Amino acid sequence: MASRKMIVFPSKNELSEAIAEYTANLSAKFCKEKGLFTVVLSGGDLIDWLCKLLQPPYLNSIEWSKWHVFWVDERVCSCDDPNSNYKLAMDGFLSKVPIPNKNIYAIDKHYAADGNAEHCAVLYQECLENLVKESIIPISPKTHYPQFDLQLLGMGPDGHMASLFPGHPQINVTDKWVTHITDSPKPPPKRITMTLPVINSSSYNLMAVCDKEQAHAVAEIMKHNKPLPSAHLSAQVENVWYLDQAAASML
Ligand SMILES: O=C(O)[C@H](O)[C@@H](O)[C@H](O)[C@H](O)COP(=O)(O)O
């Protein structure tokens, strides 16, 4: 398991540029090595920060047709609801790059619109299982869970990542790849989320944290080893945290 690396950027703009460069480099590496790149998105501010990829030199150099896009967590609502992480990513980023639609793996739209979180989680896991059979996603020989190439994560002020919240049982789930929550402390309450062993089986995990609201949780994790959900983040190759100055202000 990779130990945690941390880089503090002077501003969100520089952090955003660094995320774009990191993502583009890994895209080039994995497209060359495997002919495809599996990238897992979260919700929140991340999509804004990814927008540098819509500009030169990335826009025309990335092999978008080889991308396969997933969500580490998703809110269980209609896909055109402003709460939807899929909608957020589609509107702000994915609709602007030529990734084939079939390579964008959203949660089941019908069950999501019905608010059936449990079934959405089951179906998302089935989707991942099918992609394992099709050799799009490998199983990690070390952990025996699916191994994505890169996950781009964010952390909430309470230290949550994905939809793994402090004091909620989802953080301990190991017998599933995808689980659900119906009482999320961050609205909306119904969500699905990849489980911790899947998150930590990823080759590269990039946690991006900005703003002073997150500074306390950053300090609890980095200085006091408090076991908040995000403190459990690891990766097979690299576990890197990108912070802006505000998020790092209590370190
Ligand atoms: O669906 C969600 O709510 C997200 O996936 C969530 O896990 C998010 O990544 C963090 O809460 C950080 O959000 P911000 O980047 O907006 O602070």
Asked, for residue 251, whether it belongs to a domain, the answer is no
Q: How many structural domains does the chain have?
A: 1
Q: What spacing in Å lies between the alpha carbon of 156 and ligand 1's midpoint? A: 6
Q: What is the mean pLDDT of residues 59-72?
A: 97
Range of 80's domain? 4-244
**CA 123 → CA 49, 146, 175, 178, 201, distances in Å?**
29, 16, 15, 9, 20
Say if pTM beats, i.e. exceeds, 0.80: yes
ipTM above 0.85, yes or no: yes
> Mean pLDDT of all residues in the chain?
97
> Which residue minimizes the CA distance to atom 13 of ligand 1?
44
- Pocket flag, ligand 1, residue 179 (CB < 6 Å): no
- Where helices occur in 8-108 by DSSP H, the ranges are 12-34, 46-49, 58-61, 85-92
Identify the CATH number of the domain in which residue 115 sits: 3.40.50.1360
- Pocket flag, ligand 1, residue 240 (CB < 6 Å): no
Asked, for residue 178, whether it belongs to a domain, the answer is yes
Asked, for residue 249, whether it belongs to a domain, the answer is no
- Pocket flag, ligand 1, residue 218 (CB < 6 Å): no
Residue 29 reports pLDDT greater than 80: yes
> Which residue minimizes the CA distance to atom 14 of ligand 1?
44
Residue type, 117: A
Residue 212 reports pLDDT greater than 80: yes
